[in-house]
Amino acid sequence: MYFLGCDPDLHSLSVAVVTDTGKLHGVLMCKSKGKKKEEAVVAILRTFAEVGRALRELTPRVCAVAVESQDVGYTGRTNNARRQDLIYLAQVVGGVVVELSQSDPCPAMYMPKPQEWKGSVPKKIHQCRVLSKLGIETMFMGRHSAYPVPVDYTKYVLHGHVTNSDWLDITDSVGLAVWAREQWLKEQGKRR
């Protein structure tokens, strides 16, 4: 069984796959390649549809997917996001949800806001905790960054080219996949 986490932004979409045993199966990154606005949305979704083929072999066994959603108030406070940017972001989220919900059987779909899945813990601390929880040995990106990167980060790449700096976003998608797994297991426990 697999659990997916998707972290969209205006320039990329990172996807992580976690197993039912709580191990990181792999990651992939869809980038807009320098495009802006609607063109960036289309580029990200087109790339996701292409690399989605790498995920399709897993989809019959995907139990749950968490795609990060946004809140206008929350996003506006943290990085001065423009409302139009949130519309573009919502288009990416919608495209991802539609693509992933077409599998048979359809997985449980979650769209948590950042504060829902990671709380108020600072990003650097949360990312260190997520990778540590999965038993992944980490290093830090560059001399001046405290963001964690798996020591052997290339072994987790399912498709395409992923750099160590991409892990700033990828680790959030890993956290979303872990959160999706925990939510799904909680719901399964309540059904029994």
Q: What is the pLDDT along the chain (192 residues), one digit of tens a residue?
A: 899 999 998 888 899 999 999 999 999 888 887 888 889 899 888 888 877 766 767 666 889 999 998 776 554 445 566 778 888 888 888 888 887 777 767 789 999 998 899 888 888 889 999 999 999 988 886 665 678 889 888 899 887 788 888 898 999 999 999 999 999 999 988 665
Report the alpha-carbon distance of residue 113 to residue 66 in Å, rounded.
Answer: 10
Indicate whether 144 belongs to any domain.
no
Q: Say which DSSP state 121 is in.
A: S
pLDDT of residue 55: 73
Domain that holds residue 103: 2-120+156-185
Indicate whether 138 belongs to any domain.
no
Indicate whether 192 belongs to any domain.
no
pTM: 0.87
How many domains is the chain partitioned into structurally? 1
pLDDT of residue 142: 65
Residue that the structure tokens 């932004």 belong to: 9
Indicate whether 175 belongs to any domain.
yes
Long-range pairs for 114-119: beta carbons < 8 A, 24 or more residues apart: 114/68, 114/70, 114/71, 114/74, 115/71, 115/74, 117/66, 117/68, 117/175, 117/176, 117/179, 118/172, 118/175, 118/179
pLDDT of residue 81: 63
Which CATH number do you get for residue 114? Answer: 3.30.420.10
